[in-house]
Amino acid sequence: MAAGEGRRVLVTGGSRGIGRAIARSFAEQGDRVAVHWGSSRDRAQQVLAELPGEGHLLVQADMTDAEAVGAMVDRAAEDLGGLDVLVNNAGVFTAHPPLETSYADWQAAWAQTLATNLVGAANATFRAVPHLIAAGGGAVVNVSSRGAFRGEPNNPAYGASKAGLNAFAQSMALALAPHGISVTCVAPGFVQTEMAREVLDGPGGDAVRAQSPFGRVARADEVAAAVLWLASPAARFSSGTIVDVNGASYLRS
């Protein structure tokens, strides 16, 4: 990357919610962003249209399809002229309480959740590494969850996938540091997004907000701010860390 140029950034799951806020935060810094989408092209195009600056693009892949993920990462790097930052944000959250779910639905939930949230992120990282090395180093930031620590009784595959993502990130932090690449995680609690609106606007919304002593849930831009710092050169020596963005709703030792 030439001096004075913005970074080249790939954000998976960039068509809504946290991913949308992350893409905007990088663009506001003067970076060029590849916005990945899985099934919502219209939403992704809307995000692309609202990003400040120029040189942004859309890339598509089903995160459960290893070949599609690899091709998507390579295309993003090619069209951006390289890659400096990968943000693994794409994820799914499917309710499957163990005492209320059929065995077939249980299997489907685990397969889809792990394939998207964990294996998809691992595949994207694997394919991004050569591009990051070619750029002289960079950052991988993974969007995890407080559910990796406190447990998700109605969504156990989700909690397990995010715990696995944390462990994966720390393993990769060790493997990639010699190449100048940091690997980190941000672990939000509840975030005010469209996906969470049904819960937050429903009868249980006040109880969710009361989990934090701030009396509210996180904003997507607050999660994006943590991602932006973790991706910065100033945070390189924090590689391997997991930053909580949950308003002290869950404190871990």
Q: Nearest-CA neighbor of 90 among 41, 38, 48, 129?
A: 38
Does residue 103 have an active-site annotation? no
Secondary structure of the chain in HEC code, one letter for each residue: CCCCCCCEEEECCCCCHHHHHHHHHHHHCCCEEEEEECCCHHHHHHHHHHCCCCCCEEEECCCCCHHHHHHHHHHHHHHHCCCCEEEECCCCCCCCCCCCCCHHHHHHHHHHHHHHHHHHHHHHHHHHHHHHHHCCCEEEEEECCCHHHHCCCCCHHHHHHHHHHHHHHHHHHHHHHHHCEEEEEEEECCEECCCCHHHHCCCCHHHHHCCCCCCCCEEHHHHHHHHHHHCCHHHHHHCCCEEEECCCCCCCC
Among 158, 159, 176, 182, which one carries the catalytic annotation?
Answer: 158
> Which whole-number Å values give the CA distances from 221 to 17, 43, 206, 208, in the listed order?
9, 18, 21, 19
- Residues 46 and 68: beta-carbon distance below 8 Å: no
**Active site amino acids:** 158
